[in-house]
Structure 1
Amino acid sequence: MKAFLLLLALLPATAVAADATKNPQFTAGQKALQAALDRPQPKRKARNIILFIGDGMGINSVTAGRIFAGQARGLDGASYKLSFETLPYGGFSKTYSADKLVTDSANGISAIMTGVKTINAAIGVDDSVKSKDCQSALGARIDTLAEQAKRSGRAAGVVTTAGITDATPAGAYGHVPFRNWRADVDLPADAAKAGCVDLARQLVEAPDDVRMDVAFGGDLQDFVPTGTGPGKRADGRDLTKTWVSRPGARYVTDAAGLSALDTKGGPVLGIFADGDLPSPVDTELHRNVPTLSDMTAKAIDILAAKKSGYFLLVESASIDKWHHANNAYRALTDVDELSKAVRIAMDRTDPNDTLIIVTADHSHGLVISAGSSREEPITGLVRNHGVNLTDGNNQPRLTLSYATGPGGPKAGAVVPIPDEATATSPDFHQPALVYMASAQHAGEDVPVYSRGPDSDLLTGTFESSYIYQVMAHAFSLTGPKVAKPVAKHRRRHVHGR
């Protein structure tokens, strides 16, 4: 008997299962499931649509941006949620263009705004267009969703942290075979002779039935003549004066002017920088410059005065611009800025009548590498509870890096290995695998988040141009008008053709 009891004592103890129902992750999952089961079917028609574009915000930018934003608030970054990650519906958009595996922002926004993919660098025209060829664009123009919304009796606006003539904001109102035709000096002589018009003029001189009611961003240089501050226009025109020459039209130039702006009245142009708006990280440069949230809130308040509804395009442009520089700190700051602006829109609108969509035009080659414990800064060295983890050469390594860009090794050069203080600095540029003066876009599908009427149609994996179809359906639009070539003697007077 003693021998038997001794044998039992030597046998392994029977495992006792943990009670998963007491685990906070498990209970949070139960609550999320119940919320999804209780979710009412979205309505089928929208009074308003707000489209948010995180330029260059691929899924890695969302993940890194989430961690960065959470850590900035003293929270666990991995489990933190950006505002748009709480939206009930999600899917993935395929962003390639008519001619390239990897899109640029011009085709990226054109596909979303017209339902037709075009070639890289073209805006608001179909895929029959030839790059930089004005003549080919004359019959390729397609009305954008913003223009269709205006013709249906709604208001329309665009907000960006880039210049208003940059590719994404121009996707609301512009029609060009080459995105860099932003001021008259950018047009080749033959394009101007054929009747093509620069994007700044297209915005300001648009016919009443399609002109934007709100346009906020930068790029003063494209609107004023040489000899006037940063102006570069050679035609001697000050387009800000052209804007305010219409009855009720207004023009503001700084955060104070925007804040004081009455939300009733005519169309509003706000230009807050000579070029792109500075990063909020750079507080001195950003002094008296409105934030993306400031501009979004004011735009919604102005457009909401239109009882028949509105369309608003909002771009957090600098995600892309700082990724191009391999500056993850500022890029991820702008992911957080987008999240704040989306929260403003969520709080100011009713999901029963307003479709909110948050997506990207393309991705970037940002990589998040393994090793760091969860409390370590996402922008820093790979560390396990404060202890550096090394690479195959026994050197410190970074959690974030890029596929291409200025952080890559130039011929014969060695990329220096930073310390933790340098790596987490706002001015640090992450390393890249391949040197290029400006990082290249990446081609993976990008996330799409939505709530409101027809938002359940944005699930699964779909073409970027399908987003247009959902928005047009939510607005009960019949589709865009495709321009026909116009008589030669009229071409100089045709908006955007």
Structure 2
Amino acid sequence: MHPRTHHKITTRSIDYEKPPVNELEYHADFWRNKAQDTLSQKLLEKHNTNIAKNVIMFLGDGMSIPTLKASRVYLGQLRNQSGEETVLSFEEFPYIGLSKTYCVDRQVPDSACTATAYLGGVKNNDATIGVTAAVALQDCDASLLDENRVMSIGKWSQDKGKRTGFVTTTRVTHASPAGVYAHTADRDWESDADDVPANCKDIAYQLIYDDIGSKLNVIMGGGRRNFIPKTLTDEEGDAGKRKDENLIQTWIKSKEGKNARYVWNKQDLLNVSNDTEYLLGLFESDHCKYHLDAEDNDPSLAEMTTKAIEILSNGNNGYFLFVEGGRIDHAHHDTKAQKALDETVEFHKAIQTAVEMTDEEDTLIVVTSDHAHTMSISGYGVRGNNIFGSPGNADDALPYSTLTYANGPGYRKEVDGKRSDTSQDITSKYNQDNNNLRFLTICAASVLNLK
């Protein structure tokens, strides 16, 4: 019998006694039986040859393979488990594969060219949406040519009489959701205040007025500022950006005589009737809040997904729904590892919700990512070690972080030839630049002589 050991692990969201290893794991039969169970399950699975009536596409923006690994551990540790054995909801799907990502003009893609690829099936240039690679960045005139426009699965679904919609934790005019409905030579042309050429329309305008956007049954996310004039403030007192009109009011007027609702908070969203035909939900002036920062008025991604499915399911011909966990990406950009992992867990919850609400006999659910980030998992931490902690000391006798970033904020120069001592970091503060750069980037910066 092996001794049981307990270690206290404490962070902002994790406070648990690290559980002992399951003693059955010390025996070979435990693992062989698990393997046989998996094989038996796979042999019993039958190929689903049905034609999908409904399609739900989940996109984890910036959700790399190391993010999945770390998020499993994080989720397990939230449950007072060691974490490594945890499985995310979509990792139990029967089929899995890898995608190769790049833009026509870039080795590493952004969320604009990838959105065009996975929603429209066409690769194009960095920072452009819904257009071919014949359109260079900010080439407004080229983006207006019919032969340079790429239609998305949103358009194809509408042409088949299906209900359509999207849910995102970013602004609804951000790159990924814009791939459903917009055609633009610059992803940053979100409102008419963004130096958009006179002969081109901004993304918010396209969402309200153009053929695809105006027909969407469900639109949910953040970004109110791109829909109201700068002379007005929204429900929470934040100023708008637009120079022309109040697009929220335009949307409301365009839906007169139809069962349509505009909502801006969680309570109103939950009270929306399921027989609503059109729903516009804008829950923040900018991006939706991170889950760890959310307040009572802020709906979760799972709650938005639930309402979207309820509304879209009322159509006679099925539906297409796009759901983005967009703030995984933003947290990684800011090297806030705890928020990135927590947003991934929220993404996992939304997918589980969709699985429970639908039937695989008529609904296809696809989960993917658009690109990765430079977060890596380092070292040989003991089983159940705090995912935001240190797996041990490096050769210089100083600790290093399990999670590290190769770029982003937080770089610290060496002092007297020594790198920063990460044991002095307070990783329990989830707004801190979690565990970033400490080792990998410092070494790279030394080589590159970064200032």
TM-score by length of 1: 0.78
Q: Distance in 2 between matches of 1:323 and 1:400?
A: 11
Of 86, 93, 104, the match for 1:80: 86
Of 426, 429, 443, the match for 1:425: 429
**Letter aligned with residue 286 of structure 2:** G
**Letter aligned with residue 184 of structure 1:** D
Equivalence for 1:266? 277
Change over 3 Å in CA distance of 1:225–1:35 after alignment to 2: same
Matching of residues 105-116 of structure 1 within 5 Å: 105-116=111-122
Change over 3 Å in CA distance of 1:393–1:232 after alignment to 2: same
> Greater CA deviation, 415-424 or 99-108?
415-424
Of 156, 164, 167, the match for 1:159: 167
Are 1:403 and 2:406 matched, yes or no? yes
Equivalence for 1:43? 49
- Mark the structure with the bigger radius of gyration: 1
Q: Distance in 2 between matches of 1:20 and 1:273?
A: 51
Deviation at 1:290, TM superposition (A): 0.2
Contact 1:408 1:415 in 2 (8 A): no
Q: Distance in 1 between matches of 2:109 and 2:262?
A: 34
Equivalence for 2:216? 212
Are 1:225 and 2:229 matched, yes or no? yes
Equivalence for 2:18? none
Equivalence for 1:70? 76
Are 1:293 and 2:302 matched, yes or no? yes
Please give the per-residue CA displacement for 1:96-139, whole angstroms capped at 9, x wherever unaligned: 11111100000111100111001010001111101011011112
Are 1:168 and 2:176 matched, yes or no? yes
Q: Distance in 1 between matches of 2:393 and 2:57?
A: 43
Deviation at 1:209, TM superposition (A): 8.8
- Identity in percent: 34
Q: Distance in 2 between matches of 1:282 and 1:166?
A: 20
What secondary structure does 1:332 align onto?
helix
Equivalence for 1:378? 387
Q: Distance in 2 between matches of 1:209 and 1:270?
A: 14
Structure 1 residue runs of 4 or more that deviate by more than 6 Å after TM superposition: 18-22, 411-415
Q: Distance in 1 between matches of 2:291 and 2:409?
A: 22
Are 1:96 and 2:102 matched, yes or no? yes
**Letter aligned with residue 65 of structure 1:** S
Deviation at 1:418, TM superposition (A): 3.2
Deviation at 1:44, TM superposition (A): 4.1
Contact 1:151 1:209 in 2 (8 A): no
Equivalence for 2:318? 309
Q: Which runs of 5+ in 1 are unaligned?
A: 1-17, 383-388, 436-497
Deviation at 1:412, TM superposition (A): 8.0
> Greater CA deviation, 415-424 or 348-357?
415-424
Of 193, 196, 200, the match for 2:204: 200
Q: Distance in 1 between matches of 2:99 and 2:346?
A: 22
Change over 3 Å in CA distance of 1:210–1:309 after alignment to 2: farther
Equivalence for 1:353? 362
Q: Distance in 1 between matches of 2:228 and 2:411?
A: 38
Change over 3 Å in CA distance of 1:410–1:98 after alignment to 2: farther
Please give the per-residue CA displacement for 1:177-202, whole angstroms capped at 9, x wherever unaligned: 110000001133xx22xx21111111
Equivalence for 2:267? 256
Q: Distance in 1 between matches of 2:342 and 2:314?
A: 32
Contact 2:222 2:288 in 1 (8 A): yes
Equivalence for 1:480? none
Equivalence for 1:393? 396
Q: Which runs of 5+ in 2 are unaligned?
A: 1-23, 443-451
Deviation at 1:263, TM superposition (A): 1.4
Change over 3 Å in CA distance of 1:66–1:341 after alignment to 2: same
Deviation at 1:397, TM superposition (A): 1.0
Deviation at 1:51, TM superposition (A): 0.4
Q: Distance in 2 between matches of 1:209 and 1:292?
A: 21
Contact 1:123 1:177 in 2 (8 A): yes
What secondary structure does 1:263 align onto?
coil
Contact 2:224 2:240 in 1 (8 A): no
Contact 1:203 1:211 in 2 (8 A): no
Deviation at 1:142, TM superposition (A): 1.3
Tell me the matched-pair count.
Answer: 406
Q: Distance in 2 between matches of 1:201 and 1:42?
A: 40
Contact 2:208 2:214 in 1 (8 A): no
Structure with the greater relative contact order (CA < 8 A, sep ≥ 6): 1 or 2? 1
Q: Distance in 1 between matches of 2:57 and 2:51?
A: 16
Q: Distance in 2 between matches of 1:261 and 1:171?
A: 26
> Greater CA deviation, 240-249 or 266-275?
240-249
**Letter aligned with residue 311 of structure 1:** F
Contact 1:150 1:209 in 2 (8 A): no
Q: Distance in 1 between matches of 2:396 and 2:414?
A: 20
Contact 2:67 2:375 in 1 (8 A): yes
RMSD value over aligned CA atoms?
2.1
TM-score by length of 2: 0.86
Please give the per-residue CA displacement for 1:327-365, whole angstroms capped at 9, x wherever unaligned: 000000011000000000000111111110111010011
Contact 2:207 2:214 in 1 (8 A): no
Deviation at 1:415, TM superposition (A): 6.5
Equivalence for 1:147? 155
Q: Distance in 2 between matches of 1:105 and 1:121?
A: 8
